[in-house]
Structure 1
């Protein structure tokens, strides 16, 4: 498996729906779940699936992502032909940047050609899910298909993001169509409405032949722009996500974080008594980079002497709650909550400082922001909208570098 499959992880997307979290980083590098980055879930899937030759195609403001790959994922041995390598645009096919997923692969055709692999696994690095790719590749080989698409059931006809798929009784793809906007997906649904997931296994020879034609203009989706026009001349099969095959416990969770509300709800879901995505599964742990910070702790406030408390929250290393209160929230490393401050149903990124008496509710605070004493955020939508981005669901996002 290690050397017969070349893996391409698409991580060039800006993630416009997640602004302002993606002003200075790509979607794949957005922090998630208290200590992770979004791309960690895809790379952890690769690690557990025995995939050891991984190219990460990057583009938009990629320094943060490259640094994370260097610090957290330099774990393979190049002397054994193992690698996780970032590949920004090389402009081998002209002077253009990546115009989309099809174009990103086409511009790196030479990397595919020189690989000894028989299959090319193309993955989206911008979604949260667990999946045993080894079983997908095995099913691909068993079917004799040129292309295998991972598909998932959804509650309504489309999530507005991934294309819809029609399969026949034997699992072969009959058609692909754009998803109508506005409906919400349900990764655990048994409904027969199926959607793609941005996960594809190609026969390398077929993929290289399909990359030959020159294309004009940007492309948006591999299913619609590469596979759909050629369906009449190839065997394409669907692979059901969350089935019984595979070694990972099938929690059947998948989220593409299409907007701020999706991102917020995905994080808050981790705090449920029975979370839809269980980070504490021992059979499929998620790897990431962690700084060498001291343990999180609660201490009495210096002035009030009131004990610092937290309820049903995630606290990462280096966090100190000094006489403040944290409820139903996720705190990334090195957060400090000072005397009398209250943090409720919020997400605080690395290095956030919450001043004495501040009150935060239903908000996301970006890295290193210093919230002054007695500031209130998340209580008056009109007032918040004048200062910050506020999502349709009412989540206030304080951007990086904001000065109160």
Structure 2
């Protein structure tokens, strides 16, 4: 029987999330909504629960209030599960007054908590990946190989090796070399681990399983700040480090482009990732909301969340988040609408007509290739048109109403867009 109760999962909450800005302007990266009603943090926590791992810690630092609220309101184990989901926030102490300086440094600053957990293994996870994984299989591999460290890897296409940290694995599955985003053809030739001509390389997934005592010793004696850049390369030549292969869908959602494309791919007939697998569900906050109402609307390839009121003309290849309101005559295409927080209400007639614009999207709007963050108020006759894929700039207005990243228009959280506003490339 696998000692899953001897595994502590430590989920890294990420830094400032600059590559996901402005979605991270008011929230931590793992708190960014995905697929209409989930948060990114739900993925690793759900994977842990489905794997039988119930001791889970989430390390946070920047804009962490909404993440804390979501975790504390969602993950409660009953008295028959000897586990917990704890939030380990960055804090200043008598012996250290610095914030987290990297992934390894974040774990180092919580070594006292890791020791207190009294487990034999520490599983390091990221809070911004989309995948479904049974970590018990990784633990079995780790034990079978008598490993000190196990790195989760995934086959990488020969044309994409320069995007990943590439690991060389020998026939006994032991890692013998590591290069960060290699470009040199000769180096790449030497890094081939698999016989597959299309996917001959193994890329690091940023998931690591350590023997607890070794991890504590390394972080106590070394000042390395990052796992992927520093600690893993250091251990390869000195310890038994093995590579476990994960042969399923996995996506790093660390950029606006990746976030946008990954979300919209979920609307396809056969999405790369299925949130509806009854054997390995993805858990999230259970909101008490009414059924969504739809009136006189054409919907094609879209995800519609709970509590929405939709009277739009057309919604195509889009995601509509919780409690969204879309008024008549509006067309939505290739767009992510994050909806309204469950604690935000129009409390009076004055609030409802805040700047004469209620929560949601008004009448006769046209919105294409955009991300509308939570609690946005978009007036009637607003037009948002696609920008070139390489377009990137900020609204010149001092009170920034929108941003363009990778050609995608982003309306930040709580933003008010006045009626008749047009957001489109200058050449239009």
For residues 80 and 261 of structure 1, do their structure 2 counterparts lie closer, same or farther at Cα, with a shift above 3 Å needed?
A: closer
Matched, 1:400 2:413: yes
Cα RMSD (Å) of the superposition? 2.2
Aligned equivalents of 2:284, 2:100: Cα separation in 1: 27
- Which residue pairs with 1:247 in the alignment? none
* Shift of residue 157, structure 1, vs aligned partner: 5.8
Q: 1:39-79: per-residue Cα shift (whole Å, max 9, x none)?
A: 11111100000001111111111101000001111x21467
Please name the residue that 2:230 is paired with: 225
Distance in 2, matches of 1:76 and 1:29, equals 21
Residue 204 of structure 2 corresponds to: 196
Match of 1:223, SS? Answer: helix
For structure 2, the 5+ residue unaligned runs are: 184-195, 341-358, 396-400, 418-428
> 1:256 is matched with which residue?
252
CA contact (8 A) 1:157 1:180 kept: no
Give the CA deviation at 1:291: 2.0
Instruction: Deviation per CA, 1:121-141: give whole Å up to 9, x if none.
Output: 111121111100011011101
How many angstroms does 1:194 deviate by? 1.3
**Which residue does 2:240 correspond to in 1?**
235
1:124 aligns with 126
Aligned 8 A contact 1:338 1:354 in 2: yes
1:308 to 274, 297, 300: 297
User: Could you say if the C-alpha distance between residues 323 and 362 of structure 1 is closer, same or farther in structure 2, counting changes exceeding 3 Å?
Assistant: closer
1:187-240 Cα deviation digits (max 9, x unpaired): x99612111111111111111111122527xx3x31321121232210000000
Structure 2 match to 1:38: 40
**1:385 Cα shift?**
6.0
Structure 1: how far apart are the matches of 2:156 and 2:410? Answer: 29
Kept in 2, the 8 Å contact 1:364–1:397? The answer is: yes
The residue that corresponds to 1:84 in the other structure is: 85
Equivalent of residue 69 in structure 2, options 67, 70, 84: 67
* Correspondent of 1:377 among 384, 387, 400: 384
1:95-244 map, 5 Å:
95-156=97-158, 158=160, 162-180=164-182, 191-215=199-223, 219=225, 221-242=226-247
Task: Give the equivalent residue in structure 1 for 2:356.
Answer: none
Pairwise CA distance, 1:159: 6.4
Moved more, 394-403 or 118-127: 394-403
Q: 1:162, 1:198 within 8 Å by CA — same for their partners in 2?
A: no
Q: Tell me the TM-score normalised to structure 2 length.
A: 0.83
In the aligned structure 2, how far is the partner of 1:189 from the partner of 1:281? 32
TM-aligned CA distance change 1:189 to 1:373, over 3 Å: farther
* Partners of 2:128 and 2:254 within 8 A in 1: no
SS in 1 for 2:113: helix
Q: CA deviation at 1:114?
A: 2.3
Equivalent in the alignment of 1:245: none
Deviation string for 1:268-296 (max 9, x for gaps)? 11111111112222221110013211111
- Give the deviation of 1:314 after TM superposition: 0.8
In 1, Cα distance between the equivalents of 2:320 and 2:4? 37
For 2:79 and 2:158, locate their aligned partners in 1 and report how far apart those are by CA, in whole Å: 45
Distance 1:134 1:159 in 2: 28
Distance 1:97 1:81 in 2: 31
User: Cα gap change, 1:59/1:336 in structure 2, threshold over 3 Å: closer, same or farther?
Assistant: same
Structure 1 spans left out of the alignment, 5+ residues: 182-187, 243-251, 300-306
Q: Answer with 189-198 or 63-72: which moved more.
A: 189-198
SS of residue matched to 1:3: helix
Instruction: Give the CA deviation at 1:158.
Output: 4.8
The superposition leaves residues 287-344 of structure 1 with CA deviations (integer Å, 9 ceiling, x where unpaired) of 0013211111112xxxxxxx13322211111111125321111000111110111111
